[in-house]
Amino acid sequence: MKRPRPIRSLAIVVFCAVLLNASALLAFAATSVPIAGYEIFPGVRQGTITYGATFAGRADTNGSWAASVSYTGTPGLGGGGVTIVGGRWYVRWQGLRYGVVISGAVLWPADLAKDIGCGAGVATFGATLSGGGSIAGCLDDTHLATVFPPTIVGTLTLP
């Protein structure tokens, strides 16, 4: 009759527990999804807020996304930027996820020659999404003679 090996059994149990915990942590890790798309509607200004500026495009190579935002301020070169005050988003990538745009900002360079991180004359943006997500990237809406409709590229980070 074989003797039980308590140390070996304990080692196997500890190994399995560590493996399961690591799998659980990976399941809850944030996922970054590359996005690209277009501004499909500039929004409607009422008072100091522009409502419904809408963007849509592809998420990674096999998904899609859309977002509609409201903002204050005046967009464009030399004006600094706008403050995103709300909106909605959705992404169809490994399932459907959607939520609320909580806040954010879009910053334009001073002129077409200035590069603030996305290329000469191209704006940068970032926004916080409901559920702990975020979106950040570049918006080219100033080179309309060569880039139309305005393009957007970036990363959607899902919790």
Pairing of the two strands 81-92 and 123-129: unpaired
pLDDT band at 3 (very low <50, low <70, confident <90, very high): low
- Coil vs helix vs strand at 80: coil
Side-chain-facing half-sphere of 99: CA atoms under 13 Å: 17
**pLDDT above 90 for 48:** yes
Return the bridge partners of 83, or none: 72, 105
With cut-offs at 50, 70 and 90, classify the pLDDT of residue 1: low
Give the pLDDT confidence score for residue 12 in this predicted structure: 53
Show the beta-strand stretches assigned E in 15-150: 31-41, 44-46, 49-59, 63-72, 81-92, 96-107, 123-129, 134-140
Give domain limits for the chain: 31-158
Mean pLDDT on 93-115? 95
Matching residue, tokens 């592809």: 58
Considering the entire predicted model, what is its pTM?
0.78
Share the mean pLDDT of the chain. Answer: 86
- Give the separation between CA 105 and CA 32, rounded to whole angstroms: 20
- Give mean pLDDT, residues 127-151: 90
In this model, does residue 146 exceed pLDDT 90?
no
Contact (Cβ atoms closer than 8 angstroms) between residue 101 and residue 129: yes
pLDDT in tens, 7-18: 555 445 445 444
Checking if the pLDDT of 23 tops 50, the result is no
49 confidence band (pLDDT: 50, 70, 90): very high
Tokens matching residue 7: 């140390």
Judge whether residue 140 has pLDDT over 60. Answer: yes
- Residue 47: what pLDDT? 95
CATH number among 3.10.450, 2.40.128, 1.10.10, 3.30.70, domain 31-158: 2.40.128
Percent of the chain at pLDDT > 70 equals 81
Determine if the peptide bond prior to 149 is cis (ω within 30°).
yes
Q: What is the pLDDT of residue 30?
A: 80
Q: Taking residues 152-157, what's their average pLDDT? A: 96
Q: Give burial (CB, 10 Å; 0-12/13-18/19+) of 27.
A: exposed
Contact 63, 91 (CB under 8 A): yes
